[in-house]
Amino acid sequence: MIDPPSLEKMIAEFSSLPGIGRKTARRLAYHLLTRSRGRIKPFCESLKEADEKIKTCSVCHAFTEEDPCPLCASREHAKTLCIVEKSSDILPFENAGIHRGLYHVLGGTLSPLDGVGPEELHIPGLIERIRKLNLQEVILALGSSPEAESTALLIDRLLQDLPVKRTRLARGIPMGSDLEFIDEITMLRAFEGRISL
Amino acid sequence: MIDPPSLEKMIAEFSSLPGIGRKTARRLAYHLLTRSRGRIKPFCESLKEADEKIKTCSVCHAFTEEDPCPLCASREHAKTLCIVEKSSDILPFENAGIHRGLYHVLGGTLSPLDGVGPEELHIPGLIERIRKLNLQEVILALGSSPEAESTALLIDRLLQDLPVKRTRLARGIPMGSDLEFIDEITMLRAFEGRISL
């Protein structure tokens, strides 16, 4: 009632973002309207531009503007491939500089109750991709949730007849945390401590 | 380098908001692109709509879509007026249901070094407004920073010849807080302002 309707709507939109409560949403909306009116248009344009330009790489399924993505295009002769859950999980590897190979983004983990099976995660395509590439090693870099564990288990089984070394990240990763937010040292330890399956 | 340019730009825009660090900005951008693509347009539209519709009331300077704002329009015969720093400070009063009078938004506090003087805060207009209204009480509800204190002092002086009661919000211990963690200035104010039982 006190905030005008259009401001109320703007606050509701901010509140719908993860980790943004109502008070924070209100603070952001008032900030934009008070101090950053000039930022509203560029802000919206950046969102729209990303919405239009960002697609997923048809090879590795990472977010990209070009298809294939720059990583797939520049590392086609790489000998290692790292399997991650989501596109945003690639950054910590690249930041730590520990993997100069290929990636494959599953887009989630197996979750039969939500209708997420191997097909939804492009797992058959992944196996096909690995079969065609001349790889030395496939690194399973999934999280530590039960769903991620069973996804890794399935991929490991599907790969066991192929002449490629399978590894997974060492248990340096603390339970329940998101790969996306792991600091570089922890990521390095986990990568160095990877073990044969 | 890893995030595509348009995604990078979107992250930078989110990072420019107050209290949003780079990691949070990245999480928000990835969230919108992964799970809420359909929310991007309505989100932007709500921002643009607010940007177009929200102006400040020519009477009290609060954010509004109509001029005068609904509060000014519906309470023109009120006997009390509450002076606040920013438009967003009105909500806690209205939520608590403790003030059914008028408001006046200064839009900041005096800050000579930043070129914010009485004119920028519409203080002459405020005095004129109070002179014309038939008020019983003016409540100074500014913050407790040195700038807010000196702003309140100036307004108090300018009003002293008018036949209206001047009050300010009490300073003291907030509800639910532990005395152990109260800062010294708050403790001093609370002690000085102690009341007989």
Chain segment A84-131, per-residue pLDDT in tens: 999 999 998 998 888 999 999 999 999 988 888 888 899 999 999 999
| C-alpha to C-alpha distance for B50 and B177, rounded to whole angstroms | 37
User: Residue B65 in contact with residue A5, Cβ under 8 Å?
Assistant: yes
Residue-level pLDDT at A31: 93
Cα A155 versus chain centre, distance = 18
Q: Which of A159, A145, A81, A80 is nearest to A116 (CA)?
A: A145
Chain A residues whose beta carbon lies within 8 Å of the beta carbon of residue B18: 27-28, 31
Nearest to A6 among B4, B49, B95 (CB): B49
Q: Which CATH class name applies to B5-53?
A: mainly alpha
Q: Which residues of B touch A24 (CB under 8 A)?
A: 19
Q: Please give the Cα distance from A53 to A65 (Å, whole number).
A: 6
- CATH number assigned to the domain covering B56-196: 3.40.1360.10
Report CA dihedral (A88, A89, A90, A91) to the nearest 10 degrees: 70
Q: A 119-138 residues with CB below 8 A of B?
A: none
Residues, chain A, total?
197
Please report which confidence band the pLDDT of residue A171 belongs to, taking 50, 70 and 90 as the band edges.
Answer: low
Helix (H, G, I), strand (E, B) or coil at B111: strand
Average pLDDT on B163-191 reads 87
Domain with CATH 1.10.8.420 in chain A: 5-53
Instruction: Compute the distance between CA of residue B133 and CA of residue B80 in angstroms, rounded to an integer.
Output: 10
Each residue of B81-113: pLDDT tens digit? 999 999 999 998 988 888 999 999 999 999 988
A5 touches chain B (CB under 8 A): yes
Residues spanned by CATH 3.40.1360.10 within chain A?
A: 56-196
CB B181 within 8 A of CB B163: no
Q: A20 CA to chain B: closest CA distance, Å?
A: 9
User: Percent of chain B scored above 90 by pLDDT?
Assistant: 66
Which run of H or of E encompasses B127? Answer: helix B123-132
Asked whether the beta carbons of residue B31 and residue A24 sit closer than 8 angstroms, the reply is: no
